[in-house]
């Protein structure tokens, strides 16, 4: 096929990338506007950032969001990894497929349905809406993602590696800790990372199960945005963008570092 | 024996998760759909769903989701195709995906500023002589922003399908005398149809259930199934009716997954 | 059983679900310090035997003994055998040193001792100095050696090798055949080697077990098996053979291709239908008049060391000839062979009956039923 893209093709790609990134940079650009709106750029200021850092309520919400994200990612990674290990051991194909279909229900379900059904669940179970209901929900919708990130790694692992470890005297516990877990570490990292971003990004599910006293960043931005423009949000989005970029770069390097894992006969 | 036992112990958390957060919520939604707003058992919700008001809403929700999916596909396919032709294609792909990791709410918020009466879009229209228009709170803005949000999810599976396509097949088609267009619609497109299908699946189902955008961008002009569910659960507190709509949404979701389900063919 | 025996299979059957058995009522003994080869086509059950010895799978029926103790229920990690896998199964997250040290670390051996042993094992396979390499930095042949070092460092009594050379290219494979044989001699422990490559089996083994469809067809030294194949399968599988139908007229006289020939076989019923094997290298090209068989040359291939000539006799039997002399396609030639070159196979004979009959030759006693 062609080695170089035609000018028209290049233009199309440029337009796509422009449209994808313009709104984000637009937000960031106006976060430095002393004018107080997203229309006329008056002069450069860091006031909005300063205001942001003095807004204790918002800072607490940011902290809540981070705590929820880290905790839910951690717990869902643990449960998901164990789940994947057990699924791998399933002998019967049918049982395996059934479990996998159930696993994927929450991934394909629209957020609204997850949110609404969890709301019913927590209400019936008598769990007060707030930190715990949000945490439980985030753990719940992150588990299948972790399983999906870990399972392919487990499946690509040659079964002879386990035979080899057993052959060399490893107990079943040794096999898991000394061979399987080190092998699937990249998958575990990827799963943890995805769980983290899903949790940080989630709006709809949280919106349903958050109740009155507790809020996460997404929910907060939603209520602020419904009231109209406030450049605090711009400043916040700039910070979040930088944070996301850092995460992306970290993730990129983790996956790059783990990529050339030569194994078995692969030459 | 002991191994089986420990294995079962390890399976408990994951099994509990499936029971409590996958199966129970679906059953609860079904259960609640049989109760009217007073909490009496009845089929009134289902009767209501088949009245013109709800059927019209369902149809329009489908129509918008269809438009969003179609436009996303029309933009995403060429983009994905061109991306596979670039050098460092994985890096470019990553750059396409990064915006999808920026909080959804922030992107919606950016468009409130851009499409606002005095926003960039209108300044641009002013400059080219069309004059200020009402952009925000129209069908156009809703579809545009939705497509903007879903584009990376559509590009990713199509890119992967194109990337896996064996280039020798394209050469073979050309060698056998096929023109560029014939090669595309007889060879490339059929072989990447699975990517297109999963792209449509990950766009269409969420597009049916969007509710946050309908409020922020479409100003309640568009009511999707998702908006209706949110309305019933969180505003009118009619959980029964909300659950009924959710039941239909789940059914539709399963039907779509059946249609777009992957059927692996040869090779 | 003698104390030379280290592994013994007694009527072992391995069957998955309702499928036909992968291993069908197999019994054999393995002696200490010898190089054994399990040879057969894929799916013949050779790898299953290895997995049964290693403990990766359990026998459906029958017993397996190790040093006289029944080991059917001993888990793999408690058995004194180590395996070299076909794909090497080196741990990609560990370097060369840690791969070799894996078994020692499991045994909680002291660091200094681990170091000494690993270095010894690595120098045994000519990999001294490669301790800190990552597995992905090693070539196929080097990985092979790491896998061997990882097995021998544990000082097992038996080493199992599952087609370990199949991933190597031809030249390296031949080199490794010598090295493995040499290694086995130096270590003096039992090697059980699985392969589907008959040349490899002939070159390396003290004893070969030829397997097909879950049964041991024949066992013996490479020379025995090559010279005296028990049936069509073995004759065909080990080397190239001309196999034709014939009739045993009387002792030392056999008929095939419409003619009678002298031979060295005996102990058959008069006029018993048999199969005749003559190896292509035992056939000599000569003039039509001098030849015992008259054939027409059909095609000819130059194989480097010799010409491979395909020809047909008047009955339509194909005769493959390996000759340093060239023939002309389409021409009639004569084929000459010695009486010793004819090997007569009784149809459907078991290995025991076969052995008995062979022994009777040496006793010089006629053994007609």
ipTM confidence: 0.86
Q: Chain A residues with CB inside 8 Å of C90's CB?
A: 164, 263-264
Per-window interface: C 86-105 vs A, CB < 8 A: 86-94, 102-103
| In the predicted structure, residue B2 carries a pLDDT above the cut 80 | no
**A179 and C CB contact within 8 Å:** yes
What's residue A267's pLDDT? 26
Instruction: Encode pLDDT of B182-200 as tens digits.
Output: 888 888 889 899 899 989 9
Residue B109 and residue A5: Cβ atoms within 8 Å?
A: no
- We report the CATH number of the domain holding residue C279 as 2.40.50.140
Q: CB-CB: which of A112, A143, A228 is closest to B211? A: A112
Q: CB-CB: which of A165, A168, A185 is closest to C154? A: A168
Rg of chain A's alpha carbons, rounded to an integer?
Answer: 23
- State which residue of chain C sits closest to A265, comparing Cα positions: C87
Residues C245 and C190 in one domain: no
CA nearest neighbour of C282 among C317, C306, C255, C314: C306
Mean pLDDT of C173-201: 91
C323 C-beta neighbours (distance < 10 Å), count: 18
More confident residue, C190 or C167: C190
What's residue B3's pLDDT? 61
Give the distance from residue B142's alpha carbon to the nearest chain A alpha carbon, in angstroms: 15
Indicate the CATH number for domain A54-258: 1.10.3720.10
Contact A40, B119 (CB under 8 A): no
Instruction: Encode pLDDT of C333-360 as tens digits.
Output: 999 999 989 988 888 777 777 877 777 7
Residue A121 and residue B83: Cβ atoms within 8 Å?
A: no
Q: Which residues pair with C285 in a beta bridge?
A: C335
Point out the domain boundary residue: C168, C192, C227: C227
Residues C58 and C174 in one domain: yes
CA nearest neighbour of B252 among B221, B229, B219: B229
Tokens of A248: 């992306």
Alpha carbons within 13 angstroms on the beta-carbon side of residue C167 total 19
Q: How many helices (H) and strands (E) does chain A have?
A: 12, 0
What's residue C50's pLDDT? 93
Residue C240 pLDDT class (50, 70, 90 cuts)? confident
Q: Chain B residues with CB inside 8 Å of A180's CB?
A: none
Q: Chain C residues with CB inside 8 Å of A267's CB?
A: 139-140
Would you say residue C90 lies in a domain? yes
Please tell me whether residue A90 adopts helix, strand or coil conformation: coil
What's residue C366's pLDDT? 43
Neighbouring chains of B at 3+ CB pairs under 8 Å are: A
Give the distance from residue C75's alpha carbon to the nearest chain A alpha carbon, in angstroms: 8
Mean pLDDT of B112-126: 80
Give the distance from residue C124's alpha carbon to the nearest chain A alpha carbon, in angstroms: 19
Residue B261 pLDDT class (50, 70, 90 cuts)? low
Residue C102 pLDDT class (50, 70, 90 cuts)? very high
Residues C216 and C250 in one domain: no
Q: How far apart are CA A192 and CA A78, in angstroms?
A: 9
Contact B135, B141 (CB under 8 A): yes
CA nearest neighbour of A83 among A71, A75, A94, A72: A75
Q: How far apart are CA C261 and CA C263, in angstroms?
A: 6
B166 C-beta neighbours (distance < 10 Å), count: 10
What's residue C132's pLDDT? 93
Contact C230, C217 (CB under 8 A): yes
Interface probe, candidates A157, A164, A177, A259, chain C, greatest C C-beta count within 10 A = A164
CA nearest neighbour of C351 among C199, C202, C220, C206: C220
Q: How far is CA B31 from CA B28, B48, B244, B247, in A?
A: 5, 17, 9, 10
A133 C-beta neighbours (distance < 10 Å), count: 23
Residue B107 pLDDT class (50, 70, 90 cuts)? confident
Residues C170 and C38 in one domain: yes
What's residue B145's pLDDT? 93
CA nearest neighbour of C350 among C219, C256, C207: C219
Residue B103 and residue A1: Cβ atoms within 8 Å?
A: no
Return the H-helix or E-strand segment holding C106.
Answer: helix C96-106
Return the H-helix or E-strand segment holding B94.
Answer: helix B89-101
Q: How far apart are CA C154 and CA C44, in angstroms?
A: 30
Q: Chain C residues with CB inside 8 Å of A160's CB?
A: 85-87, 89
- DSSP letters, A100-130, are HHHHHHHHHS-HHHHHHHHHHHHHHHTPPTT
Point out the domain boundary residue: C198, C227, C256: C227
Residues C298 and C166 in one domain: no
Q: Chain A residues with CB inside 8 Å of B219's CB?
A: none
Q: Chain B residues with CB inside 8 Å of A80's CB?
A: 14
Q: Residue C136 contacts by C-beta under 8 Å, 6 or more apart in sequence?
A: A260, A261, A262, A263, C92
What's residue C99's pLDDT? 94
Instruction: Encode pLDDT of B57-76 as tens digits.
Output: 999 999 999 999 999 999 99
The torsion angles phi and psi of A5, rounded to 5 degrees, stand at -80, 145
Interface probe, candidates C52, C57, C76, chain A, greatest A C-beta count within 10 A = C76
Q: How far apart are CA C301 and CA B141, in angstroms?
A: 76
Tokens of B86: 């670039």
Average pLDDT, chain C: 89
B35 DSSP 8-state letter: B
Return the H-helix or E-strand segment holding B112.
Answer: helix B104-115
Residue C88 and residue A265: Cβ atoms within 8 Å?
A: yes
Q: CB-CB: which of A161, A169, A183 is closest to C107? A: A169
Q: Give the residue ranges of chain A where pLDDT is below 50.
A: 1-2, 260-267
Domain of residue C64: give its range: 5-227
Q: CB-CB: which of A160, A178, A262 is closest to C89? A: A160
| In the predicted structure, residue B264 carries a pLDDT above the cut 50 | no
- State which residue of chain B sits closest to A227, comparing Cα positions: B216
| In the predicted structure, residue B86 carries a pLDDT above the cut 90 | no
The torsion angles phi and psi of C259, rounded to 5 degrees, stand at -130, 160
| In the predicted structure, residue B7 carries a pLDDT above the cut 60 | yes
Q: Chain C residues with CB inside 8 Å of A158's CB?
A: 87, 89
Q: Which residues pair with C162 in a beta bridge?
A: C194
The full set of domains in chain B, from first to last, is 51-260 (1.10.3720.10)
C249 DSSP 8-state letter: E
Residue B165 pLDDT class (50, 70, 90 cuts)? confident
Locate tokens 């040879």: which residue?
Answer: C39
Q: How far is CA C326 from CA C241, C314, C323, in A?
A: 20, 21, 7
Residues C124 and C179 in one domain: yes
How many interface pairs between A and B have CB atoms less than 8 angstroms apart? 209
Return the H-helix or E-strand segment holding A75.
Answer: helix A56-89
Residue A265 and residue C136: Cβ atoms within 8 Å?
A: no
Would you say residue C236 lies in a domain? no
Q: Count structural domains, chain C.
A: 2
Give the distance from residue A257's alpha carbon to the nearest chain B alpha carbon, in angstroms: 15
Report the DSSP pairing between strands C284-286 and C253-256: unpaired
CA nearest neighbour of C213 among C42, C84, C6, C30: C42
Mean pLDDT of C7-19: 89
Residues C68 and C206 in one domain: yes
Residue B97 pLDDT class (50, 70, 90 cuts)? confident
Q: Chain B residues with CB inside 8 Å of A118's CB?
A: 21, 25
Q: How is chain A split into domains, by residue range? A: 54-258
Q: How far apart are CA A237 and CA A227, in angstroms?
A: 17
Q: Chain C residues with CB inside 8 Å of A169's CB?
A: 77-78, 103, 106-107, 154
């Amino acid at each position: 096929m062609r080695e170089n893209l035609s000018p028209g093709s290049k233009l199309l790609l440029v337009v796509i990338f422009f449209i994808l990134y313009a709104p984000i940079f637009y937000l960031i650009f106006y976060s430095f506007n002393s004018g107080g709106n997203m229309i006329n750029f008056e002069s450069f200021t860091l006031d909005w950032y300063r205001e942001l850092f003095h807004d204790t309520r918002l800072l607490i919400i940011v902290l809540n969001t981070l705590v929820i994200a880290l905790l839910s990612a951690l717990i869902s990674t643990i449960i998901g990894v164990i789940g994947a290990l057990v699924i791998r051991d399933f002998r019967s194909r049918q049982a395996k497929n059934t479990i996998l279909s159930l696993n994927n229900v929450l991934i394909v379900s629209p957020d609204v349905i997850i949110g609404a059904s969890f709301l019913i669940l927590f209400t019936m179970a008598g769990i007060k809406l707030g930190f715990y209901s949000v945490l439980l929900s985030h753990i719940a919708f992150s588990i299948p993602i972790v399983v999906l990130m870990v399972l392919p790694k487990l499946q690509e692992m040659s079964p002879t590696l386990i035979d080899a470890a057993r052959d060399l005297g490893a107990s079943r516990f040794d096999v898991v800790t000394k061979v399987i877990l080190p092998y699937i570490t990249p998958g575990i990292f990827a799963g943890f990372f995805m769980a983290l971003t899903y949790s940080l990004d989630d709006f709809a599910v949280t919106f349903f199960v958050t109740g009155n006293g507790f809020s996460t960043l997404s929910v907060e931005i939603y209520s602020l945005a419904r009231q109209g423009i406030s450049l605090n949000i711009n400043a916040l989005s700039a910070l979040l963008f930088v944070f996301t970029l850092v995460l992306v770069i970290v993730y990129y390097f983790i996956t790059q570092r783990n990529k050339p894992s030569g194994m078995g006969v692969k030459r | 024996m002991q191994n089986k036992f420990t294995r079962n112990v390890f399976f408990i958390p994951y099994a509990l998760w499936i029971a409590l957060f996958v199966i129970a919520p679906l059953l609860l939604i079904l259960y609640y759909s049989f109760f009217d707003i007073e909490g009496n058992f009845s089929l009134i919700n289902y009767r209501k769903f088949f009245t013109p008001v709800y059927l019209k809403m369902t149809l329009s929700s489908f129509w918008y989701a269809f438009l969003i999916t179609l436009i996303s596909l029309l933009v995403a396919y060429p983009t994905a195709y061109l991306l596979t032709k670039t050098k460092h294609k994985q890096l470019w792909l990553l750059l396409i995906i990064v915006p999808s990791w920026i909080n959804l709410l922030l992107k919606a918020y950016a468009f409130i500023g851009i499409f606002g009466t005095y926003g960039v879009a209108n300044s641009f229209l002013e400059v080219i002589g069309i004059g200020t228009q009402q952009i925000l709170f129209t069908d156009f803005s809703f579809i545009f922003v939705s497509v903007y949000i879903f584009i990376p999810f559509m590009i990713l599976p199509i890119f992967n399908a194109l990337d896996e396509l064996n280039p020798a097949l394209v050469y073979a088609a050309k060698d056998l005398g096929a023109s560029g267009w014939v090669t595309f619609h007889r060879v490339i497109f059929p072989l990447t149809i699975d990517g297109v299908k999963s792209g449509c699946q990950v766009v269409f189902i969420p597009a049916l259930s969007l509710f946050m955008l309908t409020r922020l961008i479409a100003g309640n002009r568009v009511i999707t199934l998702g908006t209706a569910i949110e309305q019933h659960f969180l505003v009118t507190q009619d959980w029964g009716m909300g659950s009924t709509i959710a039941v239909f949404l789940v059914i539709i979701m399963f039907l779509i997954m059946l249609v777009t389900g992957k059927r692996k063919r040869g090779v | 059983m003698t104390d030379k025996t280290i592994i013994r299979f007694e009527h072992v059957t391995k069957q998955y679900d309702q499928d036909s058995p992968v291993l069908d009522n197999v019994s054999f003994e393995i002696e200490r310090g010898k190089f054994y080869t399990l040879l057969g086509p894929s799916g013949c059950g050779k790898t299953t035997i290895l997995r049964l010895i290693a403990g990766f799978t359990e026998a459906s029926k029958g017993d397996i003994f190790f040093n006289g103790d029944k080991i059917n229920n001993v888990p793999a990690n408690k058995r004194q055998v180590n395996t070299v896998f076909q794909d090497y199964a080196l741990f990609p997250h560990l370097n060369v040193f840690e791969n070799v040290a894996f078994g020692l670390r499991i045994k909680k051996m002291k660091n200094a001792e681990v170091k000494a042993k690993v270095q010894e094992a690595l120098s045994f396979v000519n990999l001294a100095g490669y301790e800190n390499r990552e597995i992905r930095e090693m070539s196929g042949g080097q990985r092979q050696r790491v896998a061997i070092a990882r097995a021998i460092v544990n000082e097992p009594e038996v080493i199992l090798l599952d087609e370990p050379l199949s991933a190597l290219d031809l030249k390296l494979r031949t080199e490794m055949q010598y090295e493995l044989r040499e290694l086995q001699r130096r270590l003096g422990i039992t090697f059980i080697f699985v392969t589907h490559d008959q040349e490899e089996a002939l070159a390396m083994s003290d004893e070969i077990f030829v397997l097909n469809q879950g049964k041991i067809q024949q066992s013996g030294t490479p020379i025995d098996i090559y010279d005296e194949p028990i049936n069509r399968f073995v004759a065909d599988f080990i080397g190239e053979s001309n196999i034709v139908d014939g009739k045993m007229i009387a002792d030392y006289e056999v008929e095939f291709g419409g003619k009678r020939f002298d031979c060295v076989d005996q102990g058959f019923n008069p006029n018993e239908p048999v199969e005749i094997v003559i190896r292509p290298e035992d056939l000599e090209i000569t003039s039509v008049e001098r030849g015992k068989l008259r054939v027409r040359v059909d095609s000819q291939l130059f194989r480097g060391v010799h010409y491979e000539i395909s020809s047909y006799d008047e009955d339509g039997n194909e005769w493959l000839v390996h000759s340093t002399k060239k023939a002309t396609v389409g021409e009639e030639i004569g084929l000459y062979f010695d009486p010793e070159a004819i090997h007569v196979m009784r149809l459907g004979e078991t290995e025991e009956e076969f052995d008995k009959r062979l022994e009777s030759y040496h006793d010089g006693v006629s053994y007609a039923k």
